[in-house]
Amino acid sequence: MIDAEQTIAAILEELSEEYDIETSRYTIADQTFTFTSVRDSYALLDRISPEEFVKDEQMPYWAEIWPAAVALTEFIIGELDVAGKKTVEIGAGVGMASVAAAKMGASVTATDYSEEALRFIRLNALKNSVGLNTERLDWRCVTSEDRFDVLFAADVLYERVNLLPIVNAVDKLIKHEGHAYIADPRRRLAEQFLELSFENGFSVKSYAKSFSRGTQKIPVNIYRLSKSCLEDG
């Protein structure tokens, strides 16, 4: 325990020198989590050079915890049975859904395009006493031959150019009988994503959820993509 606490303290100190970080506590069902994230992801924009942006057009959205990630985490804990299943999260950000899945007994690989995100994921896994793997993954070019029972993603349908690559990534990463759960705050682009999913042979089931912050209630849809007619429990 002392070693883990020392490791966490060292990582926190290192990250706090580079970022304006905050730690938030969430209680979901009977599970309590703490997650460290960046206080304001938009403050990181000045770190991206014009050359880097032209190359990747990657915004630092990974750095915050978004409502869709919280809704997906609540869904994983309250409505899914992931114990013993092999799962992957794409665009994992600071790893909220991945940590929750690991807490519920899944074998988890958390991925993000940003190497910086992976540092936060590893920290949050340690803080919540779970084990998981982290890998850098570009959903535009999935080369892994590994296949998973369940794929998770939260708030990834924010750019039209990403929609088909995400569908293709899901197709490459889940087993034939597997499922993908994509949480989205009901953006209009989600309709185009669903159309592309149908065109590529997926069936889709939608779950209407929400995220509450004070008096504000943010609607979130979770879309289950599947190529198998089998129902999960």
pLDDT in tens, 133-144: 999 999 999 998
Q: What are the domain boundaries of the chain?
A: 2-226
The pLDDT value recorded for residue 44 is: 64
Helix (H, G, I), strand (E, B) or coil at 7: helix
The pLDDT value recorded for residue 60 is: 72
Distance (Å) of CA 210 to CA 8, 74, 107, 184:
32, 10, 27, 10
- pLDDT tens digit sequence for 43-100: 565 655 545 544 455 667 888 999 999 999 999 999 999 999 999 999 999 999 999 9
Q: What are the beta bridge partners of residue 22?
A: 37
CA pair distance 206, 28, nearest whole angstrom: 21
CA pair distance 56, 198, nearest whole angstrom: 28
pLDDT tops 90 at residue 221:
yes
- pLDDT tens digit sequence for 14-39: 999 989 999 999 999 889 999 999 98
CATH superfamily of 2-226: Vaccinia Virus protein VP39 (3.40.50.150)
The pLDDT value recorded for residue 214 is: 78
